[in-house]
Amino acid sequence: PDKEYAEGLRKWQSQKLAHQSVAQGVEMFKSSKYLEAIQYFNRALQIDKQNVEALVARGALYANKENFNHAIQDFEEALSVNPKHNNARKYL
């Protein structure tokens, strides 16, 4: 039980850190600090490579910078994880 608890706690902490990284990335994106934003989104994806919110946010940043190939890749990856994600579908 202790091992399961510790693993569950680590997973929760990782998810929380990934969520915080996405939130910080969004703030950087809104402030036109694109390099910092991409770093936060990438950090979230290092923690959780299937973090749909990070994929969609990074895809939106790529689209905003007219890097459409990378944007499409991120939106498609997000939809492979969650086919019903409204923003990923909308952007694509």
Non-local CB neighbours of 11 within 8 Å, separated by 6+ positions: none
The total of structural domains in the chain comes to 1
Query: Domain range holding 39?
Result: 2-91
**Count of Cβ atoms closer than 10 Å to residue 18 Cβ:** 21
Mean pLDDT by 10 residues, the chain (92 residues): 80 89 98 98 96 98 97 98 95 90
Residue-level pLDDT at 14 = 83
What pTM was computed for the model? Answer: 0.88
The enclosing domain of 71 has a CATH number of: 1.25.40.10
Alpha carbon 3 to chain centroid, angstroms: 29
Please give the structure tokens belonging to residue 41.
């989104």
| Cα 79 from Cα 3, distance rounded (Å) | 33
Q: Is 82 exposed, middle or buried (0-12, 13-18, 19+ CB in 10 A)?
A: middle
